[in-house]
């Protein structure tokens, strides 16, 4: 019974997270552990987005950058994770990556090593350029 309740809660959290993003956004995982597990299985690098509902630049990235045509080409080349810094369950991972301001985006290998990071918002075109650079670095 407990497993069933946990599965329902996990599904509801996933649906709530998915519905919070505009159509055309990448599929965001809702935990760093889940994202890292998916990355290890797929061999894809991770984009770990540290954000919050009250953060204007974060919401701008969510609405305008992630679902943009310039960034769509990269949706399936990464495992995407959305980490809400206001959720106390994410405190440890935010501390691990030195998050002191948001948006804070970590680009990681499937093993969890930092490839690059971005602090602050960006235009769709500039973010797509960053993604291209991260992929090139990840292949080295």
| Domains of the chain (ranges, CATH numbers) | 2-138 (3.40.30.10)
pLDDT at 31: 85
pLDDT at 23: 79
Phi, psi of 4 (to 5 degrees): -65, -40
Is 58 one of the catalytic residues? yes
Cα-Cα-Cα-Cα torsion 15, 52, 129, 39, nearest 10 degrees, comes to -50
Catalytic residue, chosen from 58, 99, 128, 138, is 58
Mean pLDDT for the chain overall: 87
Catalytic residue, chosen from 36, 55, 93, 99, is 55
State pTM to two decimals.
Answer: 0.82
Q: pLDDT > 70: what percent of the chain?
A: 86
């Amino acid at each position: 019974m407990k497993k069933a309740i946990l599965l329902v809660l996990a599904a509801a959290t996933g649906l709530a997270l998915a519905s919070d993003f505009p159509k055309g956004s990448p599929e965001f995982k809702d935990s760093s552990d889940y994202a890292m597990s998916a990355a290890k299985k797929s061999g894809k690098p991770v984009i770990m987005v540290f954000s919050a509902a009250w953060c204007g630049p974060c919401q701008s990235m969510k609405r305008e950058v992630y679902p943009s045509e310039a960034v769509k080409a990269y949706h399936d080349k990464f495992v995407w994770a959305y980490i809400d810094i206001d959720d106390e369950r994410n405190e440890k991972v935010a501390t691990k990556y030195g998050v002191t301001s948001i948006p804070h985006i970590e680009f990681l290998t499937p093993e969890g090593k930092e490839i690059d990071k971005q602090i602050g918002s960006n235009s769709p075109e500039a973010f797509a350029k960053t993604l291209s650079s991260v992929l090139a670095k990840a292949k080295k």
